[in-house]
Structure 1
Amino acid sequence: MAHIGLLCLGATGHLNTMFPLGHELQQRGHQVTVLSTPDVYPKARVAGFNFCNIYTTIDRQSTSKFTPSTKLVTLTGINRTFQNFAHYAEVRLQNTDLIREQGLEALLVDLSVFEGGTIAEHLDIPYITICCILPFYQDPTIPPIATTWAYNLAWWAQMRNRAAYKLFNWMAQPVLQVISRYRQQWNLSAYQHPNDIFSKLAIITRHIPEFEFPRQLPPHFHFTGSFHQAIAREPVAFPFEQLNGKPLIYASMGTLQNRSTVVFQTIAAACADLNAQLVISLGGGLEPQAFSDLPGSPLVVKYAPQLELLQKASLNITHAGLNTTLESLSYGVPMVAIPVTDDQPGVAARIQWTGSGELVELSQLSVSKLRGAIARVLTEETYQQNAVRLQAIMRQTKGVHRAVDIIEQAVFTGSPVTD
């Protein structure tokens, strides 16, 4: 049996991806250590994992702000995020000795930890890339995941994609330069392309090919299916007795980009005249008392048991985080996506492309535009049919079990897993 480290960000969506893998590894007799921010420690201990704080040179307040909540709909916001990534990459690389002291034999590296592969190479242990967000494996036939651009093979679209990748790679230079400096210091070969940060043994994403644009990916890239039912979540109190039996619309903007009162007010106004009950989960960003007079009197809670509500929902209004999107599809629930940041625009583009929902740009959000999208998804049967089609495909996958099969094969053979 092996001692395997989970090197990941501390955000909920990342933990909800990595922890099921850790749980399944433990079930198979492996030892698991989580390498993350101090705020993750209580969650790791409850899950039964060992824990290592690799942010010892940063105060607790700054680590709690690790995942940027800036709206990355502007180039300034994207640039600021890369600056933050560079800072935290420096800290993690400085603390590599702390990781060495754990005696790890392999690493599962969160894709958003750009320098994770460099750390593993320096420690001379194998690593597998885990895509906690939509994979940003660069391919000029595919729009960058930070855009809502539709899939299009026209020559002009591919030129647009190339230009966008070139711009994003330029903005990523601060973090890439930090990584390059440590690779040179540790006598590791220089990266020649941004795709070089991915593992050469295995890359794992928990969505399915049918939810991805047609594209060429390396043979060791694996779609395994969702992990969301693989580990129990902390119970969340919810007033189920207040559900009135009408069709349920569940709305959540996630747990990070969820502080815009205007977005929640717009959602409420767009749903106010529908023969449906709206439940809004604030994700901890705001207090329900601030929304006591919303149009239509929706049920507003600070946190919600998302999986339980999705099982009852007719529609999911979402920020298009990959976790929430896959959870919605796993219950055959169509969506209206309002993407904010990170990979959410790309996820929303795939929701629209698969016909499992509609996309409303945050910059164009209005009551009338959102109401129109909601009406189409609720009344046109094709949206639910497509969501149910994807649900059926996801049910045929082995999810976390397949993912850990791949991990074990990569760790024990030291060879790329291509089947």
Structure 2
Amino acid sequence: MSHVLFINVFGYGHINPTVSIVGELLDRGEKVTYVAGEEFKDKIEHMGARFIGYKNFDELGFNNGEISPAEIEPQLMEISRVYVEIIETVFNIKDNFDYIIYDSLFFLGAEIARVLKIPAISSDSTFAVNDKTNYMSEFFAKFGPVIMGLTSRPDFLSTINYLRDKYGIIVPDLFSIHKLKSDINIIYTSRYFQICGESFDDSYKFVGPSISDRKEKPESTLIYKDKSKLIYISLGTIFNKSVEFYESCFKAFGSMDVKIIMSVGMNIDISSFKNVPNNFIIRNYVPQLEILKYADLFITHGGMNSTNEGLYYSVPLIVIPHFFDQPVVAYRVAELGAGIVIEKDKVSPEILKESVNRIFSNKAYKENSEKIGKSLRGSGGYKKGVDEIFALKDSKKTTGNLIYI
């Protein structure tokens, strides 16, 4: 039995792909210590892992998908605060670890591995990145001057020096974090769906979505098909406060011969919706994987986790991206002919309805989503991911050192 240190950051889109990985590690006899935001305590402990929490990021201003350069600096300082807290938490754990798995956005994970002299495994909840696929380039182009100013601030430099002097952690150049890789990198999509998939070497393990039975049974009214088509609508756990968007859906689809299941998240009072069409079922939460098994179309924000899950079940997509990697994910869906992209500022009942009719009238969208789905299902999933982790562990040829590519 080996002891695994698992570090995760941000929200459900980063946590959910790892749940089945952790479950499989535990089933194979590994001991797992999972470090994540306090709100995930029950979810992680339910699997049987030891959980150590920290105060997770605030909302970070992402709800409307827009952050100005003036607003980003406090957000970045909040991120740095949490990263320091994570490092202090890890080095205060008295146990010894045999290897570390860390979310790729917690780029200091490989540094922790180097200091502890253990193998490093990156858990990539979105596309893998290199010079050809750097989806963060637009972010750095927009916020580069702010980031440069931040990294030269005395308090930020003091933090960097603190991490170096107390823990031996060397903070890398923030503009080069897309060049970092670990001993292996677990990517939760297929090499076919990955942008420029052929440009990644064998240390990148494209295992597909981490799909397992979540033992969530949908109520019969959700999956009963009393209309010709079933459309599932969800904007994920961050961008789910868009009441105006949901009302546009009422106008777009209320008169269509389709059944609509709309998941609006826990932050919206469903009773506040007025004049809901009869063909709509609105819930704060639904078992997404179960609904996607029956859906004919998925309208999504384009988070990688949701996109992978929809395509895993060969469901065509309408993608309304908001921020960060979502426009890149949406672009890839459209490039491979599995869906349509609508810019969030151009959403209207007319465009929504026209887009749905295009997908339902052109069988190529379904055929292309099936092609991607086949590649995702054939990538091996969480069991393949753990196979790769064990192969690394057993090889004893790596040292967990940070590598630049």
TM-score normalised over the length of structure 2? 0.86
Question: Does structure 1 retain, via aligned residues, the 8 Å contact 2:317–2:339?
Answer: yes
Specify the alignment match of 1:154 in structure 2. Answer: none
Specify the alignment match of 1:221 in structure 2. Answer: 204
Give the structure, 1 or 2, with the largest relative contact order (CA under 8 Å, sep 6 or more): 2
Deviations 1:235-282 (A, max 9, x none): 565743775243100000111210110111112222223211111011
Specify the alignment match of 1:144 in structure 2. Answer: 135
Task: Determine if the alignment matches structure 1 residue 250 to structure 2 residue 243.
Answer: no
Give the deviation of 1:209 after TM superposition.
1.9
Give the deviation of 1:115 after TM superposition.
2.2
Task: Determine if the alignment matches structure 1 residue 43 to structure 2 residue 34.
Answer: no
Give the deviation of 1:84 after TM superposition.
2.7
Specify the alignment match of 1:181 in structure 2. Answer: 161
Specify the alignment match of 1:8 in structure 2. Answer: 8
Question: Does structure 2 retain, via aligned residues, the 8 Å contact 1:9–1:67?
Answer: no
Question: Does structure 2 retain, via aligned residues, the 8 Å contact 1:291–1:300?
Answer: no
Question: Does structure 1 retain, via aligned residues, the 8 Å contact 2:139–2:324?
Answer: no
**Aligned mates of 2:180, 2:381 — CA distance in 1:** 20
1:16-415 map, 5 Å = 16-53=16-53, 55=54, 58=55, 63=56, 65=58, 69-76=62-69, 81-98=75-92, 100-135=93-128, 137-139=129-131, 141-142=132-133, 144=135, 165-168=140-143, 170-172=145-147, 174=150, 180-181=160-161, 184-185=164-165, 186-187=167-168, 191=172, 194-195=176-177, 198-214=180-196, 216-229=199-212, 231-232=213-214, 239-240=221-222, 243-295=225-277, 297-415=279-397
**Taking structure 1 as reference, are residues 378 and 115 closer, same or farther at Cα in structure 2, changes over 3 Å only?**
same
Deviations 1:113-132 (A, max 9, x none): 23222233233322200012
**Aligned mates of 1:198, 1:404 — CA distance in 2:** 22
SS at match of 1:293: coil
CA-atom RMSD in angstroms: 2.8
TM-score normalised over the length of structure 1? 0.84
SS at match of 2:209: coil
SS at match of 2:192: helix
Give the deviation of 1:108 after TM superposition.
0.7
SS at match of 2:315: coil
Deviations 1:205-248 (A, max 9, x none): 1111221222623441221111122x525556574377524310
**Taking structure 1 as reference, are residues 217 and 401 closer, same or farther at Cα in structure 2, changes over 3 Å only?**
same
**Aligned mates of 2:178, 2:337 — CA distance in 1:** 33
Give the deviation of 1:107 after TM superposition.
1.2
Question: Does structure 2 retain, via aligned residues, the 8 Å contact 1:210–1:390?
Answer: yes
Given residue 254 of structure 2, which amino acid in structure 1 is its aligned partner? A
Given residue 82 of structure 2, which amino acid in structure 1 is its aligned partner? Y
**Aligned mates of 2:52, 2:382 — CA distance in 1:** 24
Deviations 1:304-328 (A, max 9, x none): 1111111111100011111111111
Give the deviation of 1:165 after TM superposition.
4.5
**Aligned mates of 1:84, 1:273 — CA distance in 2:** 46
Give the deviation of 1:142 after TM superposition.
3.5
**Taking structure 1 as reference, are residues 341 and 301 closer, same or farther at Cα in structure 2, changes over 3 Å only?**
same
Give the deviation of 1:303 after TM superposition.
0.6
**Aligned mates of 1:296, 1:171 — CA distance in 2:** 49
Give the deviation of 1:342 after TM superposition.
3.0
Give the deviation of 1:292 after TM superposition.
4.0
**Taking structure 1 as reference, are residues 197 and 119 closer, same or farther at Cα in structure 2, changes over 3 Å only?**
farther
Give the deviation of 1:188 after TM superposition.
5.2
Given residue 376 of structure 1, which amino acid in structure 2 is its aligned partner? R
**Aligned mates of 2:151, 2:85 — CA distance in 1:** 12
SS at match of 1:210: coil
**Aligned mates of 2:201, 2:161 — CA distance in 1:** 27
**Aligned mates of 1:86, 1:64 — CA distance in 2:** 10
**Aligned mates of 1:22, 1:308 — CA distance in 2:** 21
Question: Does structure 1 retain, via aligned residues, the 8 Å contact 2:63–2:241?
Answer: no
SS at match of 1:209: coil
**Taking structure 1 as reference, are residues 382 and 10 closer, same or farther at Cα in structure 2, changes over 3 Å only?**
same
Give the deviation of 1:359 after TM superposition.
0.4
Deviations 1:172-195 (A, max 9, x none): 555896785355324456635623
Give the deviation of 1:69 after TM superposition.
3.5
**Taking structure 1 as reference, are residues 171 and 244 closer, same or farther at Cα in structure 2, changes over 3 Å only?**
farther
**Taking structure 1 as reference, are residues 248 and 69 closer, same or farther at Cα in structure 2, changes over 3 Å only?**
same
Question: Does structure 2 retain, via aligned residues, the 8 Å contact 1:273–1:296?
Answer: no
SS at match of 1:129: strand
**Taking structure 1 as reference, are residues 3 and 283 closer, same or farther at Cα in structure 2, changes over 3 Å only?**
same
